[in-house]
A = this chain, B = another copy of it.
Amino acid sequence: MTFEPPADDLETGTRLTPRFGSDGLVTTITVDADSGEVLMLAHMSALALHRTLKDGVATYWSRSRNELWVKGQESGHTQRVVEVRVDCDQDAVLLRVRQQGGACHAGYHSCFYRRVDGGRLVTDQKPEFDPAAVYGSTE
């Protein structure tokens, strides 16, 4: 006997049914499509996901500014979407992107520029840009 799971089965189905949290957001991991490096962790609202899929430009929900956030709109460091994936229970989204410039507002290609070493943090990446020049001085 063969059994075809229903198309809307969360784990085996073909239907995209992201599970947004009580805050209306789904956690999103963004990786560099060329190197595979994890660039950042962010969140998407339903509208942000819709825009990301429709426009092919990574769009998130900014929890600090409480608004839709087209990544790179201010800095020019946009992310062209190559692929969108979801995890087994559809409460996480994975974006593979072509990153223009650096992903991190602190000036690095990836937000994960520090490793834990003997209980301390060690920065082992070099900045790609000067945040003050890109975002303006905060002084």
Chain A residues within 8 Å of B, Cβ to Cβ: 11-16, 27, 29, 31, 35-38, 40-41, 53, 83-88, 91-92, 94, 104-106, 108, 111-116, 119-123
Contacts and interface: CB of A to CB of B under 8 A. Distances in A.
A101 to B, nearest CB: 15
Q: How many copies does the complex hold?
A: 2
Given A85-B114, A114-B86, A38 B27 contact: no
Contacts of A120: 14-16
27 contacts: A11-B106, A12-B106, A12-B123, A13-B121, A14-B120, A14-B122, A27-B27, A27-B41, A29-B41, A31-B38, A36-B37, A41-B87, A41-B91, A41-B92, A53-B116, A83-B116, A84-B115, A85-B116, A86-B116, A87-B112, A88-B104, A88-B105, A88-B106, A88-B108, A88-B113, A92-B111, A94-B112
